[in-house]
């Protein structure tokens, strides 16, 4: 018997959390975590490379384990939870989406930059044809006005998305901005509205609650904050907070606490916290998965990672332009060298 729910939480540690561990998930880790989440009554579990299907590459980071193996492993151990995947058109392909569907994936989250929803219709349509629940995922939502966001969200609704998400990829939105965006989508769209937050400004939980106040019913969380940058809204904490608010998630809070402590803590290379690098990402408004790339470029070119991230923000660089991180670092190093030689 399925649990009663007022809102539906998608656990993203096995996708967004991939960024935090440089995409080095092992099959046994994914199977163990997915099975535990399933037993805790989590309704949706997202599994794929951090940058979605097809993300394993030199540009985005090579996966330790082929993602279809991870997806198959998660599907195999789940009895009630539905496995979801993320797909960014241009990185993932229709072929990979079909393969995921054959493995038993039940939800496809089609992600685009907030002003590029028009590249998603064929992937949304295919997901619907494959019998998947389909989500439109508008990344870097802080980079669009409320009016632009509504326009893009309506495109995804018209393409067939069952849900459209406001995605705070950089952890840059403030609570009043989240409220404005969710309220506008709730007023103008007929489909479910969702919210995906990052904690770079310590606002993931506050922003999530703001989204819920305005009518969002689909929420993303990451257990023990395992996600890009400073992580996402912490799932086990969110479940506890919502229980205090008498909002039904159907999730077993004690089991989630145990999973966080006994499974996920062992996966994390270090605790998820707001470091100077993740803070500057929220401040600059850059994609949270840029953190590890910026740190590597910082070491290689001997420039401050904060300067790299701030410059990326000024140039409005978005997910899919990771190659620009090295270019920016090299340019900053050259400027620094010239300044020092004067």
What residues are designated binding site for substrate?
A: 15-16, 169, 196, 287
C-alpha distances in angstroms, 222 versus 46, 104, 245? Answer: 10, 22, 20
Of the candidates 19, 23, 123, 142, the residue annotated as catalytic is 19
| φ and ψ of 221, to 5 deg | -145, 160
What is the DSSP code string of 134-189? EEEEEESGGGS-HHHHHHHHHHHHHHT-SEEEEE-TTS---HHHHHHHHHHHHHH-
Distance of CA 156 to the CA centre of its chain: 18
What is the DSSP code string of 213-266? HTT--EEEEBGGG-SSTT-B-BHHHHHHHHHHTT------HHHHHHHIIIIIHH
| φ and ψ of 133, to 5 deg | -70, 135
The residue whose two tokens read 């506050």 is 206
Smallest CA-to-CA distance from 322 within 51, 14, 123 is with 51
User: d(Cα 63, Cα 35) in Å, to the nearest integer?
Assistant: 21
Please confirm, yes or no, whether 19 is among the known catalytic residues.
yes
Which segments are annotated as binding site? Answer: 15-16, 169, 196, 198, 287
CB-CB contact of 118 with 92 (8 Å): no
Helix (H) or strand (E) holding 9: strand 8-11
DSSP tag of 119: G
Radius of gyration of the chain (CA): 19
Which segments are annotated as binding site for Mn(2+)? Answer: 16, 196, 198
C-alpha distances in angstroms, 60 versus 30, 56, 70? Answer: 20, 6, 18
CB-CB contact of 55 with 13 (8 Å): no
Q: Which residues are catalytic?
A: 19
């Amino acid at each position: 018997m399925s649990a009663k729910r007022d809102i539906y939480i998608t656990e993203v540690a096995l996708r967004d959390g991939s960024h935090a561990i440089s995409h080095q998930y092992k099959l046994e880790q994914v199977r163990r975590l997915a099975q535990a989440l399933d037993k805790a009554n989590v309704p949706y579990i997202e599994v794929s490379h951090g940058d979605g299907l097809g993300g394993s590459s030199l540009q985005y980071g090579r996966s330790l384990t082929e993602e279809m193996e991870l997806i198959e492993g998660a599907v195999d151990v789940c009895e009630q939870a539905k496995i979801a995947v993320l797909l960014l058109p241009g990185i993932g392909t229709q072929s990979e989406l079909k393969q995921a569907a054959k493995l038993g994936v039940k939800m496809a989250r089609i992600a685009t930059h907030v002003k590029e929803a028009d590249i998603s219709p064929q992937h949304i349509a295919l997901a619907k044809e494959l019998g998947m629940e389909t989500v439109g995922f508008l990344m870097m939502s802080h980079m669009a006005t409320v009016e632009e966001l509504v326009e893009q969200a309506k495109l995804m609704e018209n393409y067939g998305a069952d849900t459209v998400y406001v995605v705070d990829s950089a952890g840059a939105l403030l609570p009043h901005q989240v409220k404005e965006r969710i309220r506008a989508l709730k007023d103008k769209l007929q489909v479910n509205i969702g919210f995906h937050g990052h904690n770079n400004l310590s606002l993931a939980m506050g922003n999530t609650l703001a989204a819920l106040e305005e009518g969002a019913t689909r929420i993303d969380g990451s257990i023990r904050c395992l996600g890009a940058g400073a992580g996402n809204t912490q799932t086990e904490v969110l479940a506890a907070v919502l229980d205090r608010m008498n909002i039904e998630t159907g999730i077993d809070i004690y089991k989630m606490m145990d999973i966080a402590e006994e499974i996920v803590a062992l996966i994390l290379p270090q605790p998820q916290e707001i470091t100077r690098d993740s803070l500057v990402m929220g401040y600059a408004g850059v994609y949270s998965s840029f953190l590890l790339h910026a740190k590597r470029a910082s070491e290689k070119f001997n420039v401050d990672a904060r300067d790299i991230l701030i410059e990326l923000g000024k140039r409005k660089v978005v997910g899919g332009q990771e190659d620009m991180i090295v270019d920016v670092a090299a340019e900053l190093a050259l400027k620094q060298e010239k300044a020092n030689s004067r």
